Amino acid sequence: MIVGYRSTIITLSHPKLGNGKTISSNAIFQRSCRVRCSHSTTSSMNGFEDARNRIRESFGKLELSPSSYDTAWVAMVPSRHSLNEPCFPQCLEWIIENQREDGSWGLNPSHPLLLKDSLSSTLACLLALTKWRVGDEQIKRGLGFIETYGWAVDNKDQISPLGFEVILSSMIKSAEKLDLNLPLNLHLVNLVKCKRDSTIKRYILNNFTKNVEYMGEGVGELCDWKEIIKLHQRQNGSLFDSPATTAAALIYHQHDQKCYQYLNSILKQHKNWVPTMYPTKIHSLLCLVDTLQNLGVHRHFKSEIKKALDELYRLWQQKNEEIFSNVTHCAMAFRLLRMSYYDVSSDELAKFVDEEHFFATSGKYTSHVEILELHKASQLAIDHEKDDILDKINNWTRTFMEQKLLNNGFIDRMSKKEVELALRKFYTTSDLAENRRYIKSYEENYFKILKAAYRSPNINNKDLLAFSIHDFELCQAQHREELQQLRRWFEDYRLDQLGLAERYIHASYLFGVIVIPEPELSDARLMYAKYVMLLTIVDDHFESFASKDECLNIIELVERWDDYASVGYKSEKVKVFFSTFYKSIEELATIAEIKQGRSVKNHLINLWLELMKLMLMEQVEWCSGKTIPSIEEYLYVTSITFCAKLIPLTTQYFLGIKISKDLLESDEICGLWNCSGRVMRILNDLQDSKRVQKEVSINLVTLLMKSISEEEAIMKIKEILEMNRRELLKMVLVQKKGSQLPQLCKDIFWRTIKWAHFTYSHTDAYQIPEEMKNHIDEVFYKPLNH
């Protein structure tokens, strides 16, 4: 038995209906209209356009929020002319003017889990004010905050800034030298000091000295600042792009012109405050593009994203320091550029090839974000030998995240969720479900944390949230309308009389949405769903419902398409089937002809004819045991009968792109459907191997088991699967010289295996898990505020 699409069909379970029930046509239509009409008012659409314009403008306003912590360290830098005067008095003014109502300093607005960050920022501001003998009232209120919330210093539920214990202990010691009496519990003070000493000792013993140097303001006079500047000063004059560390170098080392120029360049832009990281352009561009993609609204900003990625690629080729000196930037740039069809080499990630190299060369105290981003990048291998670097990175980052990040309390609860999501292979997830999840978890006050917490106002804001929700709801309304059209088609053509249950409508359409999500490609999406249903009917007839003579009768009818009446019908069943099949293909061929400006009917018929003949051969020759195919023959034939050729090639005619028959028969397109077909066939066979063995049927596992054990067969099949998946990704992402195939045409094949991975990771031939039913609800029906 060759298992096709129908093993993944799902019965809709809607939250307001009983399990297994389907929503009536009228109900779908009415709900669709209500949502669509509520968002079609002039004021609503004007607001939508206004928000889109403001988001576009944000590409030119890339900055981070002010950092009280870093601003305080800059404020402590003495003048080059007098050690008794501040070099940057404007920063002192900012500190005085930006104390929060509770007496603290820190990210504004704050967050309940950022008490450690507030304590660190507040103490730094108090040191700056005390050092220059200003702000007595602010100092008094700041000490009150520390007295009230000092308990959080050792609270494990609170999120810790990088190097928290090391830096806090050093600042407590500095407060003592300034006669600033901190109202902290002595036990906590001693505990922080012990943690500071053990942390520094651990990093030095493990030769992770760069991590200590990154938090140099927490080591102070013990640092060899002259050597640190010599080894780690960036072209922009900074140490690790950190204003605080760079300011500490001037406090303890006093003389370095490039450090002064770096801090002056920041204050020239921001007047009287500094962010926790600078420069910020690369960081903000990467995060903005990534966020727009995660929200599913990137199609609205194609030109802005293209311009941003072109700039990133130019900097990548120049080996720009802002990209390559930062692990997160390097990994994100590689991932975004490779997935956007730019030619980037994994060689640039070679220094992170294993855990030892990573910690030795990362250049600063490591956060879980760096490892998470490296793992995401490592999933984009497209060549086994050349991308061996990515394989090694994938292995150690996965192990590190599973064993240390998730199980040993290395990160907080919020970050654990990010890691759990990153551990899922990106090609096994549904973009639509991920977009919904990201929108629901999106916060306009979302923050990240280095040595201080920070926000990106142009990335997390009300405009982007409202825009994403509105766009998602518009797409949901369109999906419900198209489902209504598909239901009418199902009823008009009486597909239920051919044994197709009504529940197939939702599953078939879901496949179409996953492969063709673009709202403007409605015809292609509906054609895809109709073909999935027709294929299910054909598969059922050739596998179970029809006899060999009836199958041969169907094939002859298709062969003599324009003169089918002269052929006759072997049975009423064949007559009913062919009548429906004929009308369906004629309808779709007419639409395709309009889009292509030429008739493509013969090509569509020939694709079906090839599939039917091979289906019959499977049943008559293979499944009966008369012939045992070779591995290559099996993969080639079953790729076609699994519709890897039929549906994607037919889809090309509906994408709004004029495409020639020669191009659809080119070696490039053959390679694409062959690779994608093998991936889908193997996923099915791995899922279905136990059942096939019981039925004494045939699949790739049973074929290989004629010469090796089942365990060896499965291992061999997984190798073939991975080889073909990588080859397909390479054909889609790498621009082949002389290729005339439009990018969207290639993308269809990659998206096709994505839905196959997603489907087979959630279901099997016996049952449909609740997660898949919920997926249909979430994508088509459930409001975002549900």
Half-sphere exposure of 452 (CA within 13 A, CB side): 34
Pair 280, 63: CB distance under 8 Å: yes
pLDDT digits 0-9 by tens, 637-691 = 999 999 999 999 999 999 999 999 899 999 999 999 999 999 999 998 888 765 5
Residue 19, pLDDT score: 34
Pair 178, 129: CB distance under 8 Å: no
Alpha-carbon gap, residue 181 to 127, rounded angstroms: 11
Pair 682, 717: CB distance under 8 Å: yes
Phi-psi category of residue 643: left, alpha or beta, with phi > 0 → left and psi -120 to 50 → alpha: left
- pLDDT band of residue 693 (cuts 50, 70, 90) is low
Residue 210, pLDDT score: 65
Matching residue, tokens 């509770």: 102
- pLDDT band of residue 223 (cuts 50, 70, 90) is confident
Count of beta carbons in the 10 Å neighbourhood of residue 520 = 10
Residue type, position 739, single letter: S
Q: Give the residue with greater pLDDT, 11 vs 494.
A: 494
Average pLDDT of the segment spanning 36-61: 74
Residue 765, pLDDT score: 37
Alpha-carbon gap, residue 326 to 323, rounded angstroms: 6
Average pLDDT of the segment spanning 401-422: 69
- pLDDT band of residue 17 (cuts 50, 70, 90) is very low
pLDDT digits 0-9 by tens, 527-575 = 999 999 999 999 999 988 889 999 999 999 999 999 999 999 999 999 9
- pLDDT band of residue 28 (cuts 50, 70, 90) is very low
- pLDDT band of residue 722 (cuts 50, 70, 90) is very high
Written as six digits, the tokens of 163 are 């190097």
CA distances from 336 to 650, 722, 777 (A): 30, 22, 30
Average pLDDT of the segment spanning 511-540: 95
Give 449's DSSP letter: E
Pair 462, 444: CB distance under 8 Å: yes
Q: ω into residue 161 within 30 of 0, thus cis?
A: no
Average pLDDT of the segment spanning 609-637: 90
Distance of CA 501 to the CA centre of its chain: 34
Q: Per-residue pLDDT for 755 more than 90?
A: no
Helices then strands, counting H and E runs in the chain, come out as 35, 2
Average pLDDT of the segment spanning 514-533: 96
Alpha-carbon gap, residue 191 to 197, rounded angstroms: 10
Q: Which helix (H) or strand (E) holds 454?
A: strand 453-454
Q: What is the pTM of this model?
A: 0.88
Residues β-bridged to residue 86: 78
Concatenated DSSP letters of 396-434: HHHHHIIIIITTSS-S-HHHHHHHHHHTS-GGGS-HHHH
Residue 214, pLDDT score: 87
Q: Give the residue with greater pLDDT, 196 vs 310.
A: 310
Give 545's DSSP letter: I
Give 620's DSSP letter: I
Residues β-bridged to residue 448: 454
Give the contacts of 369 (CB within 8 A, at least 6 positions apart): 328, 448
Q: Per-residue pLDDT for 194 more than 60?
A: yes
Q: How high does pLDDT run on average in the chain?
A: 87
pLDDT digits 0-9 by tens, 59-93 = 988 889 999 999 999 999 999 989 999 999 999 99
202-216, 285-299, 335-349, 718-732 — which is least confidently predicted?
A: 202-216
Residue 25, pLDDT score: 33
Written as six digits, the tokens of 684 are 């099915």
Rg, the chain, Cα only: 31
Written as six digits, the tokens of 617 are 């051969």
179-183, 422-426, 525-529, 752-756 — which is least confidently predicted?
A: 422-426
Q: Give the residue with greater pLDDT, 435 vs 357.
A: 435
Average pLDDT of the segment spanning 96-116: 96
- Cα-Cα-Cα-Cα torsion 479, 485, 487, 492, nearest 10 degrees, comes to -170
**Sign, CA torsion 748/751/755/761:** positive
Residues β-bridged to residue 454: 448
**Sign, CA torsion 69/70/75/80:** positive
Residues β-bridged to residue 449: 453
Pair 76, 409: CB distance under 8 Å: no
Residue 284, pLDDT score: 93
